Amino acid sequence: MLAMKRKLRQSPSVMLGFVLMFFAGVIFSQSVSNLLSSAVVTTKEAKTESADWGSFSTYYQGETYGTRDALTGVAVIKPGQEIHPPHQHAEEEYLMVVEGEGTWHLNGKNFAAQQGDILYAAPWDVHGIKNTGKTALKFVVWKWNNKGVALPNRPSENNK
Q: What digits encode the pLDDT tens for the residues 96-112?
A: 999 999 999 999 999 99
Q: Is the dihedral of CA 37, 93, 74, 88 positive or negative?
A: positive
pLDDT digits (tens, 9 = 90+) for 23-34: 445 444 445 568
Q: How many CA atoms lie within 13 A of 134 on its CB side?
A: 0
Q: What's the mean pLDDT in 77-105? A: 97
User: Residue 95 phi/psi, 5° resolution?
Assistant: -125, 135
- Give yes or no for a contact between 52 and 25, defined as CB atoms under 8 angstroms apart: no
Tell which residue, 125, 49, 113, has the closest CA to residue 86: 125
Average pLDDT estimate for 59-74: 94
CA torsion sign for 160, 122, 56, 63 is negative
Q: Give the pLDDT mean for 150-159.
A: 79
Question: For helices 2-10 and 12-33, what crossing angle results, to 10°?
Answer: 90
- What percent of the chain lies above the pLDDT cut of 70? 78
77 exposure class (CB count in 10 Å sphere: 0-12, 13-18, 19+): buried
Question: How far is the C-alpha of 91 from the C-alpha of 67, rounded, in Å?
Answer: 10
**Averaged over 8-25, what is the pLDDT?**
52
Give the model's pLDDT for residue 3.
58
91 phi/psi in degrees, rounded to 5: -70, 145
Q: What's the predicted TM-score (pTM) here? A: 0.75
pLDDT at 79 over 80: yes
Residue 160 or residue 50, greater confidence: 50
More confident residue, 127 or 1: 127
Residue 129 reports pLDDT greater than 60? yes
Per-residue pLDDT, 29: 41
